[in-house]
Structure 1
Amino acid sequence: MPRYLTMIHIEEQNAPAEANGPEFDERMGALFEEITKAGVMLDTAGLAPTSEGTRVTWSGGKLRYTDGPFTESKEVIGGYSIIQAKDKAEAVEWAKRFLQVHPEHWTVTAEVREIAED
């Protein structure tokens, strides 16, 4: 079965400041339990803020290092998952369900891409 990487894009500067709340945590926990029991979830995690990151760029035969935060970025990757699904449609369905757990006032985007297997 193919594997898919889902990258969760957020607008870090506009992310809701309030805590998620117990209802959100319960809904997310139930979804993660379901996807794990279905044998689909291989790995998932949220990422630390860009202020704790470093970008390494190779250009013109030289390396350049830039410490975060990366203010020029409107969207950043705030988390990821790696799942194993029968096809892209199933992977997108899981991503849709993940997004629908979030409160309506949030803006979260999921990019689903198949992992190239050689």
Structure 2
Amino acid sequence: MAEYLIYFNQQWVGDHTEEWFRGRGRLAMAVVDEMKAAGVYVFAGGLEEEADTAFSADATSGRLRFTDGPFVETEEFLGGLTVVDVADDEAARMWAGKIAEACGWPQEVRRFKPRPGTR
């Protein structure tokens, strides 16, 4: 088994009505319930969109510093993510496809590196 990150940038979502989003929320939660029933669910969640709720921690100077706001000013930012623990790329693709269909916007998939001491 391997863990995969399935995620989207907020800019991929597009403009939709509140009614549209409410309908998609039910579909997305159905996929989460399906992942839980299949035993592959690790975590899923959407992130706050407001940049003023973000903060950064940076120790690259040798001294830990916290700053308000995102670390890098950018036009794109992470909107939400799902982590699944599945057998292979094919299974990760299947779950990413279900999430993409339920949400109505693209998803990107990346495999986590194995943890030290495992496989």
Q: TM-score range by the shorter chain?
A: 0.7 to 0.9
Q: Which has a greater percent of strand? A: 1
Tell me the residue number matched to 1:102: 103
Tell me the residue number matched to 2:115: 117
Structure 2: 5+ residue stretches without partners: none
Seen in structure 2, the aligned counterparts of structure 1 residues 117 and 81 have a Cα distance that, compared at 3 Å, is: same
Tell me the residue number matched to 1:86: 87
Return 72-81 or 18-27, whichever deviates more: 18-27
Matched AA of 1:9: N
Tell me the residue number matched to 1:3: 3
Tell me the residue number matched to 2:40: 40
Aligned equivalents of 2:31 and 2:52: distance in 1? 29
Aligned equivalents of 1:93 and 1:25: distance in 2? 19
CA contact (8 A) 2:99 2:107 kept: no
Kindly report the root-mean-square deviation, in angstroms, between the aligned alpha carbons of the 2 structures. Answer: 2.7
Q: % of aligned pairs identical?
A: 25
**Secondary structure in 2 aligned to 1:95?**
helix
**Secondary structure in 2 aligned to 1:101?**
helix
Seen in structure 2, the aligned counterparts of structure 1 residues 66 and 109 have a Cα distance that, compared at 3 Å, is: farther
CA contact (8 A) 1:9 1:111 kept: no
Q: Which has a greater percent of helix? A: 2
**Secondary structure in 2 aligned to 1:72?**
coil
Number of matched residues? 114
**Secondary structure in 1 aligned to 2:90?**
helix
Tell me the residue number matched to 1:16: 15
Aligned equivalents of 1:62 and 1:15: distance in 2? 40
Aligned equivalents of 1:10 and 1:42: distance in 2? 21
Matched AA of 1:111: V
TM-score (norm 2): 0.73
Seen in structure 2, the aligned counterparts of structure 1 residues 63 and 16 have a Cα distance that, compared at 3 Å, is: farther
